[in-house]
A and B are shown apart, each in its own frame.
Chain A
Amino acid sequence: MIDALELLLNTSLWAAVLRIATPLIFGVLGALLCERSGVLNLGIEGIMTMGAMTGWLTVYMGADLWAGLLVAAISGGLMGLLHAMLTVPLGLSQHVSGLGITLFASALSYYLYRLIVVVGDLPPTIEPFGPLSIPILSELPVLGPILFSQTLPTYLALLSVAVMAYMLARTPLGLAIRMTGENPHAVEAQGLNPIRIRIGAVVAGSALMAVGGAFLTTAAFNSFFPEMVQGRGWICIALVVFASWRPGKALLGALLFAFFDAYQLRLQTVVEGVPYQLFLMAPYVLSIGALILVARRARVPDALMAPYRRGER
């Protein structure tokens, strides 16, 4: 019991929380952007896998790490474009199309990886993003090692939260996106094209998801292997609901989830006689619990999942 509490005082735990939260922050922001425009994107698990693979592969082929993130974003954007074409102009079921994208993007990632890379006993590796200590700030007691000794993509994730929050709340573009998710007919009455706005939001959101996936292979680990996204995409879908479609709360949700994940990992080492699977289950059980707590109060975008067709109400 004392040991379990002592773990909470460990700065490496809190540094790990921020690290584990990074792919979730990108993923949940991406999913949030899609949903705010009225499109549910269940392709996220596959898009993150795609980003993880293409980002890693780009670096493996000799490009630098930032080029890896860029290529990941482009590959994710393309998958998003496919989802958007199926669900926005064609108005197909967003649920089924999203699942199709997940199956397709993961299968294609594994296939291309096996095709291009010769895998021996161990998967080939790259030199990943290293932790970057910000001068002076990183020497602060406690906060220094937690907040200011992370890798660059983690800072990028935190910056994205602020940019997304500002963009959605304060800019004409953000207003147009939010309105498209609430009432696309009103958007059209304003002389804007809701179909273009939705396609744009899904492409940009999917690019963000893919960067979250690329974080796994270019910063958290240094190789790509099948099943490495491990349901993080689905967790992001749950986190969007938990966050009531708000970027700030999305950050909070991602941190909370990452905390449980990091804490259970360390608890396993001090609590004996409990099957480790129970610890691994905890984050999923908590996600469901959080959904139940929040679902009733959640303000779902009105036009979420409703296909928009001109002249049809």
Chain B
Amino acid sequence: MRLERRAQVPLRLVVVAPLAAVAVALLLAGGLIAAAGVSPLTAYVEMVVGALGSRLSITEMLTRATPLILTGLAAAVAFRARLWNIGAEGQFFVGALVTAWIGHSLSLPGPLGIPVLMVAGMASGALLLAGPAYLRLRFSVDEVVTTLLLNFIVILFVGMMIEGPLRDPLAFGWPSSVPVDGAFRLPDLVPRTRLHIGFLFALAAAAVVWVILARTVFGAETRAAGLNARAATFAGISLPRTLMGVAMLSGALAGLAGSVEVLGVTAGVTTTMSPGFGYAGIVVAMLAALHPAGVVAAALFVATVFVGADAMSRATGVPSFIADVIVALCLLTMLVALMFTTYRVRR
């Protein structure tokens, strides 16, 4: 068997491959659901109904998709340039921490304060990734390990702050930071649900990232750096500058995810506020084949699985860990599907 790079990727494959990947993943996970003594078909129906069956469940799903879109964009932007940012989880938490911290003491009217807080969250996420990016460029320290280790450090730091200087005395011993000022809470998008206008910000971010990647010099340089670093340098692109720019953008997006989650949902920061948004963002980015528009679709899909699996688990008794299994299987099948879109198998 031999693999041959396709000269041109047929559009048909670009559309069919991700759908086939998801179908295969659902089929494989179906086997595991059957092992629990539940019909996979019943389980999947429960899942879809649980995530999309009512006004409340749809808004819950969109609320869950909001940080996933942003962390998915963060991973997509970095992976395009072959900057392996596995630290979106840490950048998410640092964005959330800084937002909660400043948002508690800042006195500004809401419409002015909210942008200030979001910029602060973005800046802190970008700064957190700047360190590993600098280490990679200056000392060739692999960024996979440094960004990952920073996740643990940041979450411990958050724990330290919410048990110390940022402790909420009104939380009855529940470990949470002081909440942000009420004026800075993001308004609801749908009344009497948790869905807030942060969802629109996430969609806007996807559009902005799409324009940056597709229509600017920086976007072209990013692509070149990711495809072939040596050729890019030869063509006169400054690899350090491009990678630093990518790191700033990626870290800022993940930091914004944390900021928006605090302003829109949790008000304060806790060490348990993310069920792995940073890691799930990597799956979202891969399912989207690193494309910003695809990120939105993939985030909605992953959010549907997560929200739906909880409901399905309650209804059928299948352990809710099945959601993570489905999402991980999607990542693996999507990897294979992507290979078949770029390579042709020859005997």
Listed in ascending order, the chain A residues whose CB lies under 8 Å from chain B are: 42, 82, 86, 89-93, 95-97, 99-101, 103-104, 106-108, 110-111, 114-115, 231, 234-235, 237-238, 241, 275, 277-278, 280-281, 284-285, 287-288, 291-292, 295-296, 309-311
Contact = CB atoms under 8 A, between A and B. Distances in A.
Contacts of A296: 139-140
Nearest to B329: A104
Contacts of B338: 92
Given A100-B332, A104-B332, A107-B324, A277 B145 contact: no
B325 A99 contact: no
A86 B283 CA distance: 16
B339 A90 contact: yes
A111 B156 contact: no
B332 A238 contact: no
A295 B142 CA distance: 8
A283 B147 CA distance: 15
Contacts of A284: 149-150, 152-153
Interface string B319-345: 101101101110110011011000000
Interface of B: 1-3, 32, 35-36, 79, 84, 86, 135, 139-142, 144-146, 148-150, 152-153, 156-157, 159-160, 163-164, 279, 282-283, 286, 319, 321-322, 324-325, 327-329, 331-332, 335-336, 338-339
B145 A115 contact: no
A103 B283 contact: yes
Contacts of B279: 99, 103
Contact of A99 (B3, B86, B140, B329): B86
Nearest to A87: B335
Contacts of B164: 275
A99 to B, nearest CB: 6
A103 B32 contact: no
Given A103-B327, A241-B145, A284-B149, A96 B156 contact: no
Residue picked from B135, B149, B282, B327, most chain A C-beta under 10 Å: B149
Contacts of A111: 32, 319, 321-322, 324-325
Contacts of A108: 32, 325, 328
B157 A281 contact: yes
Given A91-B3, A92-B339, A238-B145, A292 B160 contact: no
A110 B321 contact: yes
Contacts of A310: 2
A234 B160 contact: no
A311 B153 CA distance: 45
A90 B336 contact: yes
Given A92-B338, A281-B157, 14 more contacts: A42-B144, A91-B3, A95-B144, A100-B286, A100-B335, A103-B279, A104-B329, A104-B332, A107-B321, A111-B319, A115-B35, A231-B148, A237-B144, A287-B145
A86 B332 contact: yes
Contacts of A106: 324
Contact of B149 (A86, A93, A238): A238
B335 A280 contact: no
A292 B141 contact: yes
Contacts of B145: 234, 237-238, 241, 287-288, 291
B146 A277 contact: no
A92 B335 contact: yes
B153 A96 contact: no
Q: Closest 9 CB pairs between A and B?
A: A107-B324, A114-B319, A104-B328, A103-B328, A277-B160, A111-B321, A110-B321, A277-B156, A107-B325
A114 B319 CA distance: 6
A279 B286 CA distance: 36
A104 B156 CA distance: 25
B149 A288 contact: yes
B341 to A, nearest CB: 12
A285 B153 contact: yes
25 contacts: A42-B144, A86-B335, A91-B339, A93-B335, A95-B144, A100-B331, A100-B332, A108-B328, A115-B319, A231-B148, A237-B148, A241-B142, A275-B163, A278-B160, A280-B156, A281-B153, A281-B156, A284-B149, A288-B149, A291-B135, A292-B139, A295-B139, A295-B141, A295-B142, A296-B139
